[in-house]
Amino acid sequence: MENCFVDCHCHISANEFEEDLEEVIKRTREASVKTLVAVTEEVGEFTRVLQLQDSYPDLVAPCFGVHPLQASGGLSYAAHRIKLYDLDAALTQFYDHKERLVAIGEIGLDFTPWCAPTQQDRDDQMSVFIKQLSIAKELDLPVNVHSRSAAKVTIETMREQGISRALLHNFAGKPSIALEGVKAGYLFSFPPAVCRSQQRNKLIKQIPLEHICLETDSPALGPDKHVRNEPSNITLPCCYIADIKGLSPQTVRLVTAQNAYRLFPKANGCTSDM
């Protein structure tokens, strides 16, 4: 099962895929993607991601999470700053569907100044993050994590909370901070957007391959900023990482898939269990 791709972080329940989902899934399978670790950003998406697992049980591995940035009602992210009560509607769902979840995510911290301008905003994000980390521990699930302008504090918080299994998706912090995460046993995934510049070459070079996974973050973070991204583009970060590390794409594909199933063991069973 490991001679395949695992997209460790994608938003297949996003509205952007509603119209031509069948086609997207067809291209996903043609690209040898065997598992889509399907994260959510808000409670409103939870049902959709379970429906997708019903439709594609061999492919979709659901995660529930409340993202630090909420775009409720189509407003811009900055329009709704997250509060602990935003988790209220989600809480029972985590427990009701725990058997089907492969991880808690997308959760995390985003301290980009225009998203979290005040200390209160950052404190609120922290409460929501810590609460979901505690749920992950309670349910014995790994976490699928967003961090932006908050690399160090995200890793420190997870360590303090006793989190041992985490994926830091689209990580863009300093290599020295990433290596703290490596020491803690965390993994890092990179989307097609890394190919747009050489900014993260040094970072990718320093993280051992055993701590790297592949993702697309579809429909965002594609090779072209203005074009919808989709899971079949996972070949791009694979080749890019292979190039930086002087390895074959086949090696990167194999090792990252092994890493992914080690981190998300329930995702590996999504074929046989259903």
Size of the site for Zn ion (CB under 5 A): 2
3-state secondary structure the chain: CCCCEEEEEECCCCHHHCCCHHHHHHHHHHCCEEEEEECCCCHHHHHHHHHHHHHCCCCEEEEECCCCECCHHHCCHHHCECCHHHHHHHHHHHHHCHHHCCEEEEEEEECCCCCCCCHHHHHHHHHHHHHHHHHHHHCCCCEEEEEECCHHHHHHHHHHCCCCCEEEECCCCCHHHHHHHHHCCCEEEECHHHHHCCCCHHHHHHCCHHHEEECCCCCCCCCCCCCCCCHHHHHHHHHHHHHHHCCCHHHHHHHHHHHHHHHCHHHHCCCCCC
> Least Å distance between CB 71 and Zn ion?
12
Q: Which is nearer to Zn ion, 16 or 183 (CB)?
A: 16
By C-beta, is 124 or 217 nearer to Zn ion?
A: 217
In the region spanning residues 200 to 229, those forming contacts with Zn ion, defined by CB under 5 A, are: 217
Give the shortest CB-3-to-Zn ion separation in angstroms: 26
Nearer to Zn ion, 181 or 191 (CB): 191
Given the rule CB under 5 A, which of 100-108, 155-163, 194-202, 258-266 is the region that contacts Zn ion? 100-108
Residue with the closest Cβ to Zn ion?
Answer: 217
What is the nearest approach in angstroms of Zn ion to the Cβ of residue 42?
Answer: 12
Pairwise CA distance, residues 51 & 189, whole Å: 26
Q: Min. distance of Cβ 248 from Zn ion in angstroms? A: 28
Q: Which stretch binds Zn ion (CB under 5 A): 82-90, 106-114, 172-180, 247-255?
A: 106-114
- For the bound state, the minimum distance from the C-beta of residue 228 to Zn ion, rounded and expressed in Å, comes to 14
Choose between 106 and 230: whose C-beta lies nearer to Zn ion. Answer: 106
In the complex, the smallest distance separating the C-beta of residue 41 from Zn ion, rounded to whole angstroms, is 7
45 vs 217, which CB is nearer to Zn ion? 217
Q: What whole-number distance in Å separates Cα of residue 193 and Cα of residue 157?
A: 27
Separation of alpha carbons 65 and 46, rounded Å: 8
Q: What is the CA radius of gyration of the chain?
A: 17
Cβ proximity to Zn ion: between 49 and 250 the closer is 49
Answer yes or no whether residue 45 interacts with Zn ion by CB under 5 A: no
If the CB atoms of residues 86 and 106 are measured against Zn ion, the closer one turns out to be 106
Residue 42 binds Zn ion (CB under 5 A): no
CB of 247 to Zn ion, least distance (A): 26
Q: Which residues in this chain contact Zn ion in the complex, by CB under 5 A?
A: 106, 217
